Structures are given as structure tokens and as C-alpha cells.
Amino acid sequence: MFAAATALVWSSAAAAQELADPQGSGAIVGAVRWLQGTLLGTVATVVAVIAVAAVGLLMLTGRINWRYGATVILGCFILFGAASIVAGIQATAGAG
């Protein structure tokens, strides 16, 4: 019962967002979706792997501070986990 109600609420929220787009915003929405695909796609994954490998090597050789290295790695987790983080926050806010 709860799952059906939740699905109904989520689908109506998605429909409301779709109806809320102003007329003529198709180019902007398309550009934002392209940017999202670029930031979370294959190119970003390759860049993140290279960055983590380079920072890890620099941390192991003592050339950069461990705190800076951890910040770079944490940033990659936040970038790629942003959708899950937002979904969790929205679920928590909706439940409370």
C-alpha cells in the first residue's frame, strides 16, 4: 500500500516538473542535460581515475599533503554520488 502511494507521489511530482518547464526552454534543458552527461559520463570517469591515481602517487611519495589528497578523492565521490545523495536527502525530508 505504502509503495503504491509513494509511486503515485513520485510520478505526479515528475509530471509537475515536466509541466513547469517554461515555453522555449528546450535549448537550455538540452544544454544542461549535455553538461550533466559530460560531467558524469565516460570522459569524467577517465579524468577522475587519472586524478585519483596521480594524487595517490603524489601522496605516497610525500609530495602533497594527505589532507589535500583526501579532499580530491572525496570530491570524486561527491561528484559521482550526487544523484544518490540528493535522493536520500529528499526521501529523508519527505518522510519527516
Query: What would the pLDDT profile of 22-43 be if each residue is shown by its tens digit?
Result: 777 788 888 888 888 887 888 8
Per-residue pLDDT at 8 exceeds 60:
no
Q: Give a yes or no: residue 34 inside a domain.
A: no
Q: Give a yes or no: residue 14 inside a domain.
A: no
| Structural domain count of the chain | 1
Q: Give a yes or no: residue 55 inside a domain.
A: yes
Cell representation of residue 40:
558524469
Q: Give a yes or no: residue 31 inside a domain.
A: no
Region 78-92: what's the mean pLDDT? 89
Global confidence as pTM: 0.56
Q: Give a yes or no: residue 57 inside a domain.
A: yes
Q: Give a yes or no: residue 60 inside a domain.
A: yes
Dist. CA 42–CA 95, nearest whole Å: 35
Where does the pLDDT of residue 21 fall: very low under 50, low under 70, confident under 90, or very high at 90 and above? low
Q: Give a yes or no: residue 84 inside a domain.
A: yes
Dist. CA 81–CA 68, nearest whole Å: 20
Which residues span the domain enclosing 69?
Answer: 39-95
DSSP structure string for 18-64? HHHSPTT-HHHHHHHHHHHHHHHSHHHHHHHHHHHHHHHHHHHTTSS
b/e for 44-76, b at 16 or more Cβ within 10 A?
eeeebeeebeebeeebeeeeeeeeebeebeeeb
